[in-house]
Structure 1
Amino acid sequence: MVYKVVSVFSGCGGADLGLLGGFEFNKEQYQRLPYNIVYATDINEKALNTYKKNFDCHKVVCDDIQNINASEIPDHDVLMGGFPCQSFSTVNPNKDPFDDRANLYKEMIRILKAKSPKAFIAENVRGFMTLHKGKIFSRVIKEFELAGYKTYSMLMNSADYGIPQKRQRVIIIGIRDDLKKEYIFPKKTTANEWVPLSVAVKSLVSEDNKYYFSKRAVEGMKKAKNNMKRGLYQNLNEPCLTITSHLAKVSLNSRDPVLLVDPENELYRRFTPREAARIQSFPDEFVFAGSEGDAYRQIGNAVPPVLAWHIAKSLLEVLDAEKSENGEIIFNDIANLKYQLA
């Protein structure tokens, strides 16, 4: 069976690529999964320009989700979305966690109530789980459950799934109550042997000088407070720290990871857009539209496709599960499944 998917807060399509599969990363093949995205939406036109360059099989709408009537959204089996996370981020702990952006998860709930898909996938930053002693997280989970879904949540580290980045994100899976099915998060694939940054960055040296930080930027970094030096330079033999949408910056006094090319001469550089994309597990064939600044922002905001693939595959096993005569759950074998888009 091919499951229909609606993607909201789609961004440039990292999660969507992962859900569909059919790509290669770090010499690993991520098979095509039996999902068919029938509708995608985001408010960011530049991100959707990238989305349209890489997906051409479904309707893509650029609008504020609050303006989209549920009747405009096709019926579907799975709703997927990483609702905006600025209010929940640990990078901005002083921002109001109850502002309008924090309430956008309610738009997913509105669609769930109107369309009753079999399941949903939601994603957010690590801080979403702990801010205000977990009260925000508990409130959101309760509202998803009141919409008729049994929820499962987990803080997942991308590095545990073959991605060269220690990116931690909260994943919430919902299964419609009447289906009476249990979700199991995917097993870690590289928990004991993380993929190093060298997979994404082939050389510390860049042939293009525009990626190097100026001496003024380096001096500014030296004067920065210690709590603003979390990122700094990365070891190519270990996964990278979390990259963000600030990758295009020209200052060094931030929390974003950078590369130390020459210690003696204090020569630092930022990642190139393609290196950043690889850190997020995008295949090299994925094309980014707009300026480099646009690409950096889209990459930093994206869900790593490889992580999304593992989540989507584990959900597929649940959706395809059937009960045998003795009540045991049987999972269909999808290892060699091939099909054409509807």
Structure 2
Amino acid sequence: MYKVVSLFAGCGGCDQGIVGDFTFNQKYYNRLPFELTYALDIDQKALNTHKLNFECGKSVCGDICEIPSEEIPECDILVGGFPCQSFSTVNPTKDPFDDRANLYKQMVRIAKDKQPKVIIAENVKGLMTLHKGQIFKRVKEAFEDAGYVLSYKLLNAANFGVPQKRERVIIVGFRKDLGMTFDFPEETNSNDWVPLSVAVPKLAIEEQKYYFSKRAVEGMKNAKPNMKRGLWQKLDEPCLTVTSHLAKVSLNSRDPVLLVDPEKELYRRFTPREAARIQSFPDEFVFAGSETDAYRQIGNAVPPVLFWHICNKVSKYLSNYE
């Protein structure tokens, strides 16, 4: 088993993909030869969820900037979806050089000090384009200087069996002495997207708390033309990208919602379980804390099915090397 250190672990979207051994949409994703030895996140609530779902050698709640490399165990794989708010295309006004944007340097530091065989990083689409690609160039050169041959690609989760259009940059680096350059896995569903109906088998539900009020609907209808949104989702297509703001979804925003009844003008937000399915979490995955906590953890996560395909390919490279 290859030992894995998971940075910015969150609730465990990446780690579910790394470990495998789960079923989503009636398809089994087999156990991969990876063992979680260390998971780090600054959010205790997310880590509480992680602990409920994974056997991990050590789980640490802390600021990566304050964790010395010596405290992190030796590993074969270093994984990290470093925080991406500053790179997001949703809010391009954020400072791309703030402290959160520089957290990739912490992952680089640990990669340089621990020298795992493989690093796998994940981030939003905007990382590649902000400041005409200069930020991405910095990230890429930093990992290369740490001793890695990088491959990177913009992947859409919908092309891998996830019922959601979610584009993310994936960076995979093999240590230079291994002499390998990673080729990304072939898309499994590029011509056969999984529809939202997989995640939402029942459009109308009893719990009124998920429905938008008449006042909210009227507010959407009376909004200025450039604000009138109500982005209700078609069940026969993948969902638009879900975010960490799922608990605060508005009809006057870019958030995806469900139109339950056009005549009665009934709209509702996704339940936490539906949101988890949209992200391709198995139904057995348990979320700790309140519904608001669950929504935030789900929206911040990497789709496990997408990450499984990447890690499955990485495992084949490693087995061929040995």
Could you state the TM-score of these two structures normalised by the residue count of structure 2? Answer: 0.97
> Tell me, which stretches of 5 or more residues in structure 2 are unaligned?
none
Which residue identity lines up with residue 256 of structure 1 in the other structure? Answer: D
Aligned to 1:109: 108
CA spacing shift, 1:96–1:226, aligned 2, 3 Å: farther
Is 103-112 or 312-321 further displaced after alignment? 312-321
Shift of residue 231 of structure 1?
6.7
1:300-315 matches, within 5 Å, as 300-315=299-314
CA spacing shift, 1:229–1:31, aligned 2, 3 Å: farther
Shift of residue 63 of structure 1?
0.2
Aligned length, in residue pairs = 322
CA spacing shift, 1:223–1:132, aligned 2, 3 Å: farther
Aligned to 1:92: 91
Which residue identity lines up with residue 232 of structure 2 in the other structure? Answer: Y
2:230 and 2:245 map into 1 onto residues whose CA distance is 12
Contact 2:150–2:181 (8 Å) recurs in 1: no
Shift of residue 227 of structure 1?
6.1
Shift of residue 56 of structure 1?
2.7
Which residue identity lines up with residue 159 of structure 2 in the other structure? Answer: D
Aligned to 1:39: 38
Give 3-state SS (helix, strand or coil) of 1:284's partner.
coil
2:41 and 2:223 map into 1 onto residues whose CA distance is 36
1:200-279 matches, within 5 Å, as 200-224=199-223, 232-249=231-248, 251-279=250-278
Residues 261-297 of structure 1: per-residue CA shift (max 9 Å, x gap)? 1111211000000000000000000000000000000
Give 3-state SS (helix, strand or coil) of 1:221's partner.
helix
1:316-331 matches, within 5 Å, as 316-322=315-321
2:225 and 2:210 map into 1 onto residues whose CA distance is 24
1:1-342 matches, within 5 Å, as 2-224=1-223, 232-249=231-248, 251-322=250-321
Residues 200-240 of structure 1: per-residue CA shift (max 9 Å, x gap)? 00121011111000112122223446665667100000000
CA spacing shift, 1:226–1:65, aligned 2, 3 Å: farther
Which residue identity lines up with residue 295 of structure 2 in the other structure? Answer: Y
Give 3-state SS (helix, strand or coil) of 1:96's partner.
coil
Contact 1:228–1:255 (8 Å) recurs in 2: no
Residues 61-92 of structure 1: per-residue CA shift (max 9 Å, x gap)? 00000111100000000100100000000111
1:6 and 1:62 map into 2 onto residues whose CA distance is 14
2:229 and 2:258 map into 1 onto residues whose CA distance is 13
Contact 1:78–1:118 (8 Å) recurs in 2: yes
Is 230-239 or 280-289 further displaced after alignment? 230-239
1:60 and 1:266 map into 2 onto residues whose CA distance is 46
Is 56-65 or 98-107 further displaced after alignment? 56-65
Contact 2:194–2:238 (8 Å) recurs in 1: yes
CA spacing shift, 1:271–1:99, aligned 2, 3 Å: same
Contact 1:281–1:306 (8 Å) recurs in 2: yes
Contact 1:166–1:239 (8 Å) recurs in 2: yes
Which residue identity lines up with residue 146 of structure 2 in the other structure? Answer: A
2:17 and 2:109 map into 1 onto residues whose CA distance is 25
CA spacing shift, 1:195–1:142, aligned 2, 3 Å: same
CA spacing shift, 1:74–1:229, aligned 2, 3 Å: farther
2:229 and 2:319 map into 1 onto residues whose CA distance is 43
Is 69-78 or 211-220 further displaced after alignment? 211-220
Which residue identity lines up with residue 159 of structure 1 in the other structure? Answer: A
Which residue identity lines up with residue 150 of structure 2 in the other structure? Answer: T
CA spacing shift, 1:154–1:87, aligned 2, 3 Å: same
Could you state the TM-score of these two structures normalised by the residue count of structure 1? Answer: 0.92
> Tell me, which stretches of 5 or more residues in structure 1 are unaligned?
323-331, 333-342
**C-alpha RMSD over aligned residues:** 1.3
Aligned to 1:340: none
Contact 1:217–1:250 (8 Å) recurs in 2: no
CA spacing shift, 1:310–1:261, aligned 2, 3 Å: same
Contact 2:221–2:228 (8 Å) recurs in 1: no
1:293 and 1:186 map into 2 onto residues whose CA distance is 34
1:291 and 1:272 map into 2 onto residues whose CA distance is 12
Contact 1:80–1:122 (8 Å) recurs in 2: yes
